[in-house]
Structures are given as C-alpha cells and as structure tokens.
C-alpha cells in the first residue's frame, strides 16, 4: 500500500506510542460488575493485540496496534487500581455507592444506579459516583429532597426508594 493512503497523526505517524488516555484523579471505585467489565475489556484488547501482531507487515494493523496498546495500558491500569465496593458494606437506609435510587422530579420518576466512572452509561441510567447527580443524592434518605445543580438549571428531586442488589430500603 502506498504511504499516500496511510493517515499519519499529529504525534508523528506510525510506529510511535500514542499519549496515554487520562486517568481520573478520583479513587477507582467499581461494582463487582464493573470489575468484571474491566477484566473482559483487558482480555478482548489482549486478544486483539495478538491478532494485530500476527499481521506485522500490514501498515494498517500496525497503526491499529498503537490504539490497542494505548487502550490496553488504560484498562490494565484501571483494573489494577479498581476498588470493589461490596453493597453489603453500604448503609442501606441512605444513598451511597452502588445504590439504585428512584427519584421523582417534575418529569416523573427515574431510577439511577450510582457506579464507578468507567461503568457510567446514561442510556442505562448508570451515573458515575463523581457526577453532579450522584453527588446531590449521596447521603440522602427516602423521602428527602435534594437539589441537583445543572448548567441547564437546578432540579429538585425527591428520593422515593433506595436499593442495593435488589434489596430495598424504601
């Protein structure tokens, strides 16, 4: 393949290591499911890395390998620093890490689960424990009102229920 058709990046092109993905300064709290997801991601990246190494003469594979190596460094570090939070150790009468929290606001009821940063998925209503929503909810009890401060405007929420792994407190 002609070098004219191989895209080089601002870091100087193929063969150079990409800058690492930024690692959060917050403790890497995860649920058991989050730890398992990190393990799966590391395993998938290791498998992909081996497949790319087998295509050593392919410049496209070499370029992809740079990205796989960068992601593998990130997820390996996240797995090594993961602190699994056992729901049994959490106060079941107030919102804490790992809680599924049902709240009522002006738009109705929603249930959010407070998870680690790498587990956050708004489409699945999983919010990072460092997010403004989780921070507003932390420590709240059933029946309490909290103020979720957002750039789009503050929202008052009422905590309707708290559960950990299906065991409710409200």
Q: Confirm if 116 and 31 have CB atoms less than 8 A apart.
A: yes
CATH of domain 87-168: 3.10.50.30
Q: What is the pLDDT of residue 1?
A: 43
Instruction: Give burial (CB, 10 Å; 0-12/13-18/19+) of 17.
Output: exposed
pLDDT digits (tens, 9 = 90+) for 76-98: 999 999 999 998 899 889 999 99
The SS3 call for residue 126 is: strand
Q: What is the pTM of this model?
A: 0.82
């Amino acid at each position: 393949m002609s070098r004219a058709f191989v895209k080089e990046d601002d870091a100087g092109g193929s063969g150079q290591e990409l800058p690492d993905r930024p690692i959060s300064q917050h403790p890497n709290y995860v649920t058991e499911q989050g730890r398992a997801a990190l393990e799966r991601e590391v395993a998938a990246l290791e498998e992909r890395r081996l497949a790319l190494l087998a295509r050593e003469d392919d410049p496209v594979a070499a370029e992809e390998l740079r990205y796989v190596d960068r992601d593998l460094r990130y997820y390996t570090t996240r797995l090594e620093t993961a602190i699994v939070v056992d729901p049994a150790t959490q106060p079941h009468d107030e919102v804490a890490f790992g809680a599924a929290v049902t709240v009522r606001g002006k738009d109705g009821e929603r249930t959010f689960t407070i998870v680690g940063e790498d587990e956050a998925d708004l489409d699945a209503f999983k919010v990072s424990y460092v997010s403004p929503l989780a921070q507003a909810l932390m420590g709240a009890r059933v029946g309490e009102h909290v103020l979720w401060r957002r750039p789009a405007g503050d929202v008052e929420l009422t905590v309707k229920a708290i559960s950990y792994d299906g065991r409710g407190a409200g």
